[in-house]
Chain A
Amino acid sequence: MVRIGQDVSALELLGRASESGLCTYAPASGRITDIGLVPTTSGPPRQAVELAVTQDAARTLEQPRNPPPRPDDLIGWADLCDEFGLVNAVAGEPLSACFRQAADRPVDHLIVRAVGIEPAETAPQAVLLEQGTTQIEAIDLLGAALGAGKTWIAVTRNFRQGRRLLAGIARHTRATVAVLPDRYPQAGASLLVQAVCGRVVPVGEHPGTYGVCLVDTPAVAALADAIWYGLPPISSVVTVTGDAVARSSDYRVPSGTTVGQLLEQVGVSKPLGMVIAGGPLSGKALSHPDVVLDPMTSCLTVLSNEAMRRRDPQACLRCGWCIDACPVGLDPVALMNLAERLAFDRADAWHPEVCLECGICSYVCPAQLDLARAAGDLKRARTAPAEAAK
């Protein structure tokens, strides 16, 4: 939609993704210098626009404000979401998917996740606190638009600042606050749905087909901005944490910021050991600073070398801690033995496809075995052919 060399204003439409129809808007004013693929924190390289930012703050576009669609107009809501480029990081898909799914299968439970994937990830809570009443109203409106039977706001017990306040505000709406224990892992789709409303969604299946709609607080916040202020999302909230970070906190980061730029702003106090997109248990190590933070990533962990001090793996003691710790009842030792023998065909009875890759098995292992990696390998060996067949 835009060309190299073109001048754009902040909030100007840059492009529309061909398959999903998601729109992207300029986070700042400037001149387009390049268009191509860039590496991102949450997966394969994506098509992107390179923008040389000018300090011309006056050049922001006035946004037209359209009245929001009627509550039961699901397709209208879906189109609105795509037009503003709203994404839902819990499901890793556009927010419009919730509405399109709701057209097929009525939503019994709408769950708004204000819980980070990992304990240190506070960005979802920060968004909820920052927006407060607006967020609650948007949740209420979202529940009405989806025709949800029950609306939940999932928080953890350690979210002390906001929990009571939230319950007080939510009393006047249709939303119920579900306070979950401080536990890891529980924020993945299947575990969260089971913890909040008791419904079992098998791992890997879409909650929508089980009548559950799962969204996170940044998605709701972006929806509120879109319907009430006509603003597209041009920034996201990211938790920057880890022992090598000088000022660890939740930061609002403009879209398209690279990890290197963010760390320059936040400050690094120790020599970098590892930079991780996500938390220290289930995140993905980043290999260079030019990776672009994308809206699916809400946590950046920077560890020094001494924090990651690793010991050599030893023989399995058969202590069974990994089995006790596994949130989905897998036997990580059995999976590791199968993976070591490359016995992928015999792994089916152990259900490696259920693995959440949360990393808790390796975390508790006293013998320092790479259980999580073995289980993840088996999972991919099992699920990759199935996906290729699709």
Chain B
Amino acid sequence: MNDPKTRALELTDERWPADSAPFLRPAPSSTGVTWITIAAALPAAAAGVVLFGLHSAMVLALSMLTAVLANGLLGHLTRRGGVMSTSHALMTGLLLALTLPPGVNWPIPAAGALIAILVGKGLLGGYGNYLWSPVLVGRVGVQVLDPQSMLPASGPVLGRHSLLFGDLNNAVSNSPFFSWRRASLPDGADAWLLTRTDTVLSWLRDGFAHAGPPGVRGRHIASLSEAINDLLPPWGETLLGMVGGGIGETCGLCILVGGLYLIHRGTVRWQLPVAVLAGAALTAALFPIAAAWSEPGSVTALRWLPGLAFEGLRPIGLVYVLYHLTAGELMLGAFFIATDTVSSPMRARGQVVFGLGVGALTIGLRMFGIIPGSTYWAILIMNAFVPLIDRLTRRRVFGF
């Protein structure tokens, strides 16, 4: 019998390459996932340009350009250029610009993008490791640097006949009684100066005893429906975006279209945005607001469970909750910023916890907080809990 060892070596010279399984990798790449998000954010960006004029297109472009350049710089400094995905920087710049007020001057988007990339993405852990969403780190950075231009309680929107090409600075006030669709602008004016919906909603906390514009403060308001009819635009307009707010924050419909696309492509689990909206709706429905009020300084009666309020047959409480959902930056935060994979929990179950926290904190900060941008702060707070949430929502291992 031959020696077994020599027998095993009598092979042909032909050799095939070897590797470890799996051999097929058809899943979308990380870059692909980022491009899907960019594509999904485009409707909201387009709505922002139409509603707020070409100046906001400049803000968008500047933010994205700065983010990409800063990303190149970061890759150069850390000598890890290959890992620092350019498309991710582009996405960060785009989302950052969507959170900015439309009328900001050029240093703000540039500084925001620099902070987002160099600090939010670079210093705070790097791509794939950061705890806080870089978009929000950038946004909060400029909010601290220039609070005046970042925190307007009211914002301009172009009028019907001056969409896209109008000048935002040429605005006239028409708050608080306003319907964008029905009112026509005075000659020479291009835009309406509107109170932000979330600002009006925060006034409802203790009536207009302490807050509110001059004509409203201390006014007698008999009921919730009167407050909503008199002080807020029609709900449909808050959904379409004809209200004051950030470039990409106001058009709920466009955000929803983009968000559904993200869910359809599978890059976002539906549980997260739904949990954010559900958490916000539940909290808004629970939190007490002033039932009716009369003069300044008087003690206002609180109404618990405003979400269940009925006036006659009209479910006014439901309308109130719907205003909360479309107000401010909640929709943009729920679909585009809270869903950042790196800074949100990894499993659907954890994302529900995370989303409920974001939604509840948003309403809490909106009603009781002192800093605008409540959703952004809520997301940053919940970001810090992500490692804990991930640890508590591990999967059960088969057989254990």
Which of A36, A303, A327, A363 is within 8 Å of B7, CB to CB?
A: A36
Contact B33 A274 (CB under 8 A): no
Give the distance in Å from the alpha carbon of A293 to the alpha carbon of B341 in the complex.
44
Size bin of chain A's contact surface: 35 or more
Interface of B: prevailing SS:
loop
The residue of chain B having its C-beta at the shortest distance from the C-beta of A357 within the complex is B21
Contact A285 B128 (CB under 8 A): no
Contact A366 B346 (CB under 8 A): no
Given A310-B25, A312-B82, A329 and B126 touching (CB < 8 A)? no
Tell me if B214 is interfacial: C-beta within 8 Å of chain A: no
Tell me if B20 is interfacial: C-beta within 8 Å of chain A: yes
Contact A289 B85 (CB under 8 A): no
Give the distance in Å from the alpha carbon of A331 to the alpha carbon of B33 in the complex.
21
Contact A37 B19 (CB under 8 A): no
Contact B12 A323 (CB under 8 A): no
What 0/1 readout, one digit per residue, does chain B (116-150) give for beta carbons within 8 Å of chain A? 00000000001111000000000000000000000
Contact A354 B397 (CB under 8 A): yes
Which of chain A's residues have a CB closer than 8 A to the CB of B314? Answer: none
Tell me if B160 is interfacial: C-beta within 8 Å of chain A: no
Contact A366 B23 (CB under 8 A): no
Which of chain A's residues have a CB closer than 8 A to the CB of B345? Answer: 320
Give the distance in Å from the alpha carbon of A203 to the alpha carbon of B397 in the complex.
10
Contact A317 B11 (CB under 8 A): no
Tell me if B394 is interfacial: C-beta within 8 Å of chain A: yes
Given A311-B29, A328-B397, A363-B27, A281 and B342 touching (CB < 8 A)? no
Which of chain A's residues have a CB closer than 8 A to the CB of B395? Answer: 323, 326, 329-331
Q: How far is the CB of B45 from chain A (nearest CB, A)?
A: 23
Which of chain B's residues have a CB closer than 8 A to the CB of A354? Answer: 397-400
Which of chain A's residues have a CB closer than 8 A to the CB of B33? Answer: 317, 319, 366
Tell me if A275 is interfacial: C-beta within 8 Å of chain B: yes
Give the distance in Å from the alpha carbon of A368 to the alpha carbon of B19 in the complex.
14
Binding site for A on B (CB under 8 A): 1-5, 7-8, 11-12, 14-33, 82-83, 85, 126-129, 267, 341-342, 344-348, 394-400
Binding site for B on A (CB under 8 A): 4, 34-39, 45, 47, 190, 200-203, 260, 272-276, 278, 280-290, 301, 303, 307-312, 314-321, 323-324, 326-331, 333, 351, 354, 357, 359-360, 362-368, 370, 372-373, 376
Q: Would you give 13 A-B contacts (Cβ < 8 Å), ordered by A?
A: A35-B2, A37-B5, A39-B8, A281-B24, A288-B14, A288-B16, A301-B23, A315-B129, A324-B348, A328-B399, A359-B21, A363-B22, A366-B28
Q: With A45-B4, A319-B267 given, name 13 new contacts (CB 8 A).
A: A280-B23, A287-B18, A289-B14, A307-B23, A310-B25, A312-B82, A315-B127, A318-B128, A319-B33, A329-B395, A331-B395, A354-B400, A368-B30
